[in-house]
Homo-oligomer: A and B are copies of this chain.
């Protein structure tokens, strides 16, 4: 196996950022170099949180010392929440050097910007992320982050295609993964049948979230990308760190069969309909969803006061109400480590080829 350099937030209690990503990567056999962008007590969802942030100078010093010591040589790079444009620029410089030194570097860039229409980083971060996109191998934005990065409001298939095209062609991103997409009617109508119709006993389409992946087709510059889609049942309630865990699984399970930047490689296995990306995303969906089920099961059996539904007004009146809910919904990574390793099988969540994505 190889090394992963993980650059993201650290919390003392609970599982978000590095705490959600590092242990799974280690379980899967990777040596992980861990640079903490913040050192906080717990995640911000608790309402009360704090600690220290690493500024650009500190990050640059740590990366510089690692480089001087010949320790900046990981084959994979994973970056997540980075709070300021300046700190992100320090990460960009390091990623640029890693990429220059190793064209086969596998860099999963999670452009953490916000969700559901709301930014939760400084706006100065956005142009830096845009400038970093050509360094990436895979990006894992959510719907909102794709809109912010491309300046395209996604409202139908045509704008969805446009956004992916901008990321692939203008920003030179080889692989895009968007997960946790609500199944809007126009999206549902366009999906290939396998991704649209759930097996008999399962709930209706409204109860699913969609994941879309898109791999640049390396047979020619103008060839459209290879798109896959997969569904996972929606679990109500907000769980933190899920995206960080998902990205860790994607980077861990991404196994390109040929150097990724080489042209004329064959990214699509025509027999299975899979790409290196869709295979990694299928594994990541499978394990992330199994971990969410395990966490939700645990949360459901807690005493009632520890599993109050999300209600900002009630939280406002009683700060501890929010804290109790958050605590009960921390990912059960330790208890689910056999799922991470794959020694305990989970229901497979598969990405299927969306053959007509660019033409229908």
Listed in ascending order, the chain A residues whose CB lies under 8 Å from chain B are: 1, 10, 12-14, 19, 23, 26-27, 29-31, 33-36, 39-42, 46, 48-52, 54, 58, 61-62, 65-66, 68-71, 320, 323-324, 327, 333-335, 337
| Whole-angstrom CA separation of A35 from B50 in the bound complex | 12
- Complex interface: chain B residues within 8 A of A26 (CB): 23, 333-334, 337
Within 8 Å by CB of A39, from B19, B39, B48, lies B39
Q: Are A36 and B33 in contact (CB under 8 A)?
A: no
Q: How many protomers of this protein does the assembly include?
A: 2
B54 adjacent to A39 (CB under 8 Å): yes
Q: Are B69 and A61 in contact (CB under 8 A)?
A: no
* A39 to B, closest residue via Cβ: B36
A334-B31 contact in complex given A42-B69, A48-B65, C-beta closer than 8 Å? yes
Mind listing 12 A-B residue pairs with CB under 8 Å? A10-B10, A13-B33, A19-B34, A23-B26, A39-B62, A41-B62, A42-B71, A48-B65, A50-B61, A50-B65, A69-B327, A70-B323
Q: How far is the CA of A77 from the CA of B33 in the complex (A)?
A: 25
Which residue of the partner chain B has the closest CB to A61? B50
Within the complex, what minimum Cβ distance (angstroms) separates A349 from chain B?
Answer: 25
